[in-house]
Every structure is written in C-alpha cells, then in structure tokens.
Amino acid sequence: MDGGTVFMLWYLQKMNSFKHQYMIVHLDDDFFPLLEKALKPYNKYNQGKTDIWDGDTYTSSEDHPYRSSKVCWVDDSNVYELMDGLVAFANSKCEWNLDVNFMEPFQLTKYDVNDFYDWHIDESNWSPDKRPENRIRKISFTVLLNDEFEGGEFEIRTSEKNVIELKKRDIILFQADTPHRVKPITSGVRHSLVGWIQGPAYK
C-alpha cells in the first residue's frame, strides 16, 4: 500500500476532535462515477454471515440475532486502486500511522426494510491462526452509495456515541476496533461499500 495519488481527487470534510478517531470525506464528481462503474458488475448478493468463535475454531452463521443484511463480495483491481490512496491519506492525516499492508476483498452491503447490523467491532475474537501472517484488521471504512432510504443511520462509539449523518458519496474511515452499528432500515434500500485494511499484529 504505497498510497499513490488517488487521494488528490478527494477533499477532507470532517474529523472528530478526539484524537481523530474517524474521518469523513465526500467523494467528488470526478471520483465517485469511477467507483460506481467499477462496482456495476457486482450484483449477486447472499445473506450476510457472522463469524462465531467457540474458543477453538471459527464458524460462519447466517442465522445471527445481531445482523440482517445481504452482501456481495468485490475482488477488483480497479476498486483496490481507487481506495488505496484515500486509506493512506486517512492513516497519515488522522495521525494513526498504523502499520498496514493488505486490503481485503470489499463487501457491497444491501439493507432492505428492517435489516440492520447491531453494535460490533471489525476485529473481534482475533487468534494467531485467523489470518495469513497473523495479520489483524486495523482500519475500516464505509462508503454510502445511495440515499433513497430512511433509517439505517450509521453510529460509532468513540469518546462518545455519535450518529453520523452520512450522505450519498460520503466515506467514513475509522480504526477497526471501534464499536459501530447500522440502525434498522424503515423504508427503501440502503447500499454501501465496506472495506478492511490489515497489518501485522500489535506487539
């Protein structure tokens, strides 16, 4: 992850004031259409799964009381290239300076009416054998792809619980061990792109 120059197409919108625990950027008119075009071929959704750790092994379950949504996995070089520069920019601008070196396949997430994702962190139940080279998730992000829905607010718990009023084309980047949730959809369908960036385990 060398950062590249992609972030020059973006502008900084907001960082929270408590040690820059998250950053929100609004995607401009040049960049967002490129992302939409790269994501267009990906439209095969399945029920979202949640990893469950029994103290010995991980299993993935679709039947979980804390999550209801559908997902489509995106493994696309164009999307990696588009997102890489912004992640590097946020890592530096927020003064996280985290050692990161691997971007996971992305997740398109679709929330229909009554779908939700309750409070969780993106790096939970870590074990030395969970990922190659013992990497852990260090940075997470969500891009809001549409605004034709109600409900579905994004909440993050930093120094205090914050309801983040994301708009279409907004991306929020935050550290992967920060609790967050998506509240239930009351009408329409919410579409987002979610990503995680890994690095060596903390010592």
Assign residue 156 the CATH number of its domain: 2.60.120.620
Q: Which of 131, 110, 109 is nearest to 51 (CA)?
A: 131
Domain count, the chain: 1
pLDDT of residue 64: 60
Question: Domain range holding 174?
Answer: 6-39+67-199
Q: Read off the pTM.
A: 0.84
Q: Judge whether 51 lies within some domain.
A: no
Q: Judge whether 93 lies within some domain.
A: yes
* pLDDT, one tens digit for every residue, the chain (203 residues): 544 434 434 444 555 544 578 899 999 998 999 999 999 999 999 987 655 444 444 445 455 678 999 999 999 999 999 999 999 999 998 889 999 999 999 999 999 999 999 999 997 655 566 677 889 999 999 999 999 999 999 999 887 668 888 999 999 999 999 999 999 999 999 999 999 999 998 87
Q: Which of 124, 123, 114, 130 is nearest to 67 (CA)?
A: 114
Residue 18 CB burial class (10 angstroms; 0-12, 13-18, ≥19) = exposed
Record the tokens describing residue 60, joined without a space.
Answer: 């993935």
Q: Judge whether 14 lies within some domain.
A: yes
Question: How far is 54 from 125, CA to CA, in rounded Å?
Answer: 10
Q: Judge whether 60 lies within some domain.
A: no
Q: Judge whether 34 lies within some domain.
A: yes
The number of CA neighbours under 13 Å toward the Cβ of 107 is 19
Compute how many other C-beta atoms are within 10 angstroms of the C-beta atom of residue 174: 25
Q: Classify residue 125 by its DSSP letter.
A: S
Compute how many other C-beta atoms are within 10 angstroms of the C-beta atom of residue 90: 27
Q: Judge whether 115 lies within some domain.
A: yes
Longest Cα separation, the chain: 48
Q: Judge whether 46 lies within some domain.
A: no
Compute how many other C-beta atoms are within 10 angstroms of the C-beta atom of residue 59: 10
Q: Judge whether 62 lies within some domain.
A: no
